[in-house]
């Protein structure tokens, strides 16, 4: 079928793929009019440019060819792939049935109990390893050997017999002569035939490869179990220190983890399985030593199908090793953990898009924005919330999501199924982030969601670690700020994935709301002075009126009455007609502007609306403001950056801004603020926030900033 190439980061169609290495899932094939071929297979619209390793894309004329490589670490770990793919299959069935968003919320974005039980269940290969490992150990310590005929160059006095090969060499090598006699040659060195032990043949190469394959299998399983245990520990820690987290966030998160809090049975199973795997790993360490199978080429490709030989048939040790090899092949074929196929990678990209949609549904619900209606590609869900502008989430057919507020796009969410931190190489990770930053569109703000886990981020240097986790509210220092896309790692093994996504959505909605302050209305200067006279919430400007704070109901009513008298007084002096239409427009615009700013005195956390805006709302210089909640004592502000001169929102909930200074990177913000934050705090002074647009901190140019590791850029 004809197709076209759609760049999901740029948000537009491209003629050819960009040069250089690009992330997995960046390009999407949309319906079009160009026959394309990926790795000699016709491209189908609705799929991603995804392949195992290298790829080649041909056009219909076979004259233009583009090649690329996603690298060896594009895919995340096996357990993440397994869980996200399983979730994607369940969500795909929901899309097929055209169900509502409420059904999506019934699915958990975490590793569910059924998926966890599946990964903790013993596999068939585990039983075979227990039964056959002693035989494999015996074969490795005392392998079958063969005698190989060799010719060694030895002194002539030590040669036991002279062979034709020795005479041939002696006639050609004068350096092996001791003396030249009239009747012949007196040799100094001769080739002496001998036999030596040879281990480097097919059966022993299979043993060496089998040990390496089992090591990879046990290591992978051990990592899975440790990640499950870490998730269960996170759940327990979350439940234990919930009092130190925002209670609204904790209340919602408890609904997600309620089935995992008291899971002592799973903990016991995970612990026992981990101990068994550690024992197997220790046994395999012994078989990987340099004294085991010496001289055997351990990395020779022996295929997967064993040849039937006399050794594998008649020697019991090798026969058991062959059984173990076949069990490994069956395990590999069953879960596809090694060498993923192109279809499996394609399913991973599609599942990660569905998984991101599920995270968005839960993130909106955490912000009290309940989505309604069917949620499917090409459609849009509306979020019902009292006293709020209409918020909607549109699911583009290209696999991206667009957040709307008041009919205006405020955020693009692009799922990129590339594990940016899987390689654990700082230089490689920085290069891939630079490539993403150079390719993403800037209007509206782009949020890139990718699979990543905390354990791998913590191994990176600080400056790169900050770049791998920079939500809309917390850009990395000197990272381009609003010009670069925000990067958000998510994982079904991290319970804060929903929270960090909700925090970025909160920032996008707040930025859209706050940047309209103050509201401006065009009208003649004479009318503006008459309307604003005696009111402190509306002021006369050069070309009209400026509303500097949301009015109370009685204040708005007084100004509307003043506008009515303005219309009556003006009509007395007009010779032709009247200005009723102009005054009606002015009255409607003042009322609409006051209603649009009414949200500024409503607490973003508890949703309480101030009954006395003159007391709780404070207009400041530079078109900024500060407001306070009477109920929960939270404060929210609109500040202006001293570096880029742009304005940004700040939220200090329940006085947490006055807490102890600490590193507030993305993971720390998950724990400390949850979704109840707008702009991240300075690491030196908690009352200072750094600008989400340029990434500059208000303390960056002060002497005390020398203590700040974030802005100092020490590279640790």
For 514-572, what is each residue's pLDDT tens digit?
988 998 888 888 888 888 888 888 888 878 888 988 888 888 888 888 888 776 555 55
Are residues 131 and 260 located together in one domain of the fold? yes
pLDDT tens for each residue of 264-321: 677 888 889 999 999 999 999 989 888 888 888 888 888 888 998 999 999 999 999 9
Please report the DSSP string for 639-654 in residue order. Answer: EE-TTT--EEEEEE-T
DSSP bridge pairs for 602:
609
Q: Which of 30-44, 54-68, 230-244, 262-276 has the lowest mean pLDDT?
A: 230-244
Are residues 243 and 309 located together in one domain of the fold? yes
Determine contact, residues 159/361, Cβ cutoff 8 Å: no
Domain end among 314, 335, 356:
335
Are residues 135 and 246 located together in one domain of the fold? yes
Is 246 inside a domain boundary?
yes
Residue 579 has pLDDT above 70, yes or no: no
**Inter-helix orientation angle 124-141/202-240, to 10°:** 130
**Rounded average pLDDT over 360-364:** 93
CA distance 515 to 168: 93
**Rounded average pLDDT over 695-707:** 65
**Lateral strand order in the sheet of 624-628:** 617-620, 624-628, 635-640, 647-652
Residue 655 has pLDDT above 50, yes or no: no
* Cα three-residue angle 151-153-159, rounded to 5 degrees: 85
Are residues 525 and 619 located together in one domain of the fold? no
Are residues 214 and 307 located together in one domain of the fold? yes
Are residues 214 and 308 located together in one domain of the fold? yes
Residues 526-544 as b or e (16 or more Cβ within 10 Å = b)? ebbebbbeebebbbbbeeb
Is 562 inside a domain boundary?
yes
CA-to-CA dists, residue 167 to 152, 161, 162, 190, 306, angstroms: 14, 11, 7, 8, 43
Q: What are phi and psi of 664, to 5 degrees?
A: -105, 65
Domain end among 198, 215, 239:
198
Are residues 124 and 207 located together in one domain of the fold? yes
CA distance 485 to 422: 20
The gap from C-alpha 239 to its chain's centroid, in whole angstroms, comes to 25
Are residues 273 and 296 located together in one domain of the fold? yes
pLDDT for 240 equals: 61
Is 548 inside a domain boundary?
yes
Determine contact, residues 213/328, Cβ cutoff 8 Å: yes
pLDDT tens for each residue of 496-505: 899 999 999 9
Domain end among 601, 629, 652:
601
Residue 706 has pLDDT above 60, yes or no: no
pLDDT for 570 equals: 53
Is 186 inside a domain boundary?
yes
Are residues 48 and 9 located together in one domain of the fold? yes
pLDDT for 121 equals: 84
378 compared with 425, residue with greater pLDDT: 378
pLDDT for 338 equals: 44
- pLDDT band of residue 88 (cuts 50, 70, 90) is very high
Please report the DSSP string for 152-198 in residue order. Answer: EEEEGGG-----HHHHHHHHH-GGGEEEEETTEEEESEEEEEEEEEE
Are residues 137 and 184 located together in one domain of the fold? no
Is 31 inside a domain boundary?
yes
Determine contact, residues 609/601, Cβ cutoff 8 Å: yes
510 compared with 61, residue with greater pLDDT: 510
pLDDT for 657 equals: 45
Domain count of the chain? 5
- pLDDT band of residue 681 (cuts 50, 70, 90) is confident
CA distance 183 to 676: 103
Are residues 162 and 138 located together in one domain of the fold? no
Determine contact, residues 230/495, Cβ cutoff 8 Å: no
Is 549 inside a domain boundary?
yes
Is 91 inside a domain boundary?
no
Of 335, 266, 279, 333, the closest CA to residue 305 belongs to 333
Are residues 577 and 644 located together in one domain of the fold? no
Is 177 inside a domain boundary?
yes
**666: containing domain:** 613-712
Q: Say whether 352 sits in a helix, a strand or coil.
A: helix
Give kind and range of the element (H or E) at residue 445. strand 445-451
Give kind and range of the element (H or E) at residue 147. strand 146-155
């Amino acid at each position: 079928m004809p197709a076209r190439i759609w760049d999901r980061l740029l948000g537009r169609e491209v003629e050819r793929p960009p040069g250089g290495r690009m992330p997995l899932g960046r390009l999407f094939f949309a319906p079009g009019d160009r026959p394309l071929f990926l790795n000699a297979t016709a491209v189908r619209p609705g799929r991603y440019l995804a392949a195992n390793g290298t790829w080649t894309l041909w056009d219909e004329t076979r004259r233009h060819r583009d090649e690329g490589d996603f690298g060896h670490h594009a895919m995340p770990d096996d357990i993440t792939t397994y869980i996200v793919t399983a979730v994607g299959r369940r969500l795909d069935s929901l899309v097929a049935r055209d169900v509502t968003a409420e059904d999506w919320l019934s699915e958990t974005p975490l590793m569910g109990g059924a998926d966890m039980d599946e990964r903790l269940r013993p596999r068939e290969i585990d039983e075979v390893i227990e039964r056959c490992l002693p035989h494999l150990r015996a074969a490795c310590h005392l392998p079958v050997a063969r005698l190989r005929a060799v010719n060694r160059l030895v002194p002539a006095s030590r040669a036991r017999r002279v062979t034709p090969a020795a005479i041939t060499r002696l006639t050609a090598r004068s350096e092996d002569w001791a003396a030249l006699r009239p009747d012949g040659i007196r040799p100094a060195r001769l080739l002496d035939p001998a036999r030596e032990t040879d281990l480097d043949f097919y059966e022993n190469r299979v043993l060496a490869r089998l040990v390496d394959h089992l090591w990879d299998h046990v290591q992978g399983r051990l990592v899975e179990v440790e990640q499950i245990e870490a998730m269960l520990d996170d759940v327990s820690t979350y439940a234990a220190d919930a009092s130190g987290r925002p209670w609204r966030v904790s209340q919602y998160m408890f609904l997600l983890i309620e089935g995992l809090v008291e899971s002592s049975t799973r903990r016991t199973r995970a612990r026992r399985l981990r101990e068994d795997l550690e024992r197997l790993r220790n046994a395999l360490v012994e078989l990987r030593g340099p004294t085991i199978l010496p001289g055997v080429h351990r990395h020779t490709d022996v295929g997967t199908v064993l040849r039937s030989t006399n050794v594998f048939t008649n020697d019991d040790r090798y026969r058991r090793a062959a059984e173990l090899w076949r069990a490994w092949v069956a395990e590999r074929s069953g879960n596809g953990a090694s060498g993923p196929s192109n279809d499996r990678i394609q399913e991973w990209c599609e599942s990660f898009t569905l998984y991101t949609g599920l995270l968005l549904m839960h993130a909106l619900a955490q912000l009290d924005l309940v989505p309604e209606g069917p949620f499917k590609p090409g459609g849009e869900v509306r979020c019902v919330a009292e006293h709020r502008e209409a918020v909607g989430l549109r699911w583009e057919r290209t696999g991206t999501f667009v957040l709307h507020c008041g009919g205006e796009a405020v955020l693009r969410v692009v799922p990129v199924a590339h594990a940016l931190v899987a390689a654990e190489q700082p230089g490689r990770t920085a290069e891939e982030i630079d490539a993403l930053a150079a390719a993403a569109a800037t209007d509206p703000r782009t949020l890139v969601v990718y699979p990543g886990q905390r354990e791998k981020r913590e191994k990176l240097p600080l400056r790169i670690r900050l770049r791998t986790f920079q939500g809309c509210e917390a850009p990395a220092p000197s990272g381009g700020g609003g010009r670069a896309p925000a990067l958000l790692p998510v994982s079904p093994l991290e319970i804060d994935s929903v929270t960090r996504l909700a925090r970025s959505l909160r920032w996008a909605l707040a930025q859209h709301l706050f940047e309209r302050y103050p509201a401006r209305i065009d009208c003649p200067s004479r009318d503006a002075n008459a309307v604003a006279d005696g009111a402190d919430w509306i002021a006369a400007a050069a070309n009209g009126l400026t509303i500097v704070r949301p009015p109370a109901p009685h204040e708005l009513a007084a100004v509307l009455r003043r506008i009515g008298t303005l219309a009556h007084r003006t009509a007395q002096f007009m010779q032709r007609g009247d200005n009723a239409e102009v005054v009606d427009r002015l009255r409607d615009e003042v009322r609409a502007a006051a209603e649009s700013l009414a949200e500024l005195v409503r607490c973003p956390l508890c949703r309480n609306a101030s009954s006395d805006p003159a007391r709780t709302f404070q207009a400041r210089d530079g078109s900024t403001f500060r407001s306070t909640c009477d109920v929960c004592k939270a404060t929210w502000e609109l500040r202006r950056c001293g570096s880029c001169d742009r304005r940004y929102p700040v939220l200090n909930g329940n006085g947490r801004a006055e807490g102890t200074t600490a590193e507030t990177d993305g993971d720390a913000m998950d724990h400390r603020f949850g979704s109840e934050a707008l702009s991240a705090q300075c690491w030196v002074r908690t009352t200072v926030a750094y600008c989400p647009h340029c990434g500059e901190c208000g303390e960056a140019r002060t002497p005390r900033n020398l203590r700040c590791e974030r802005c100092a850029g020490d590279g640790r």
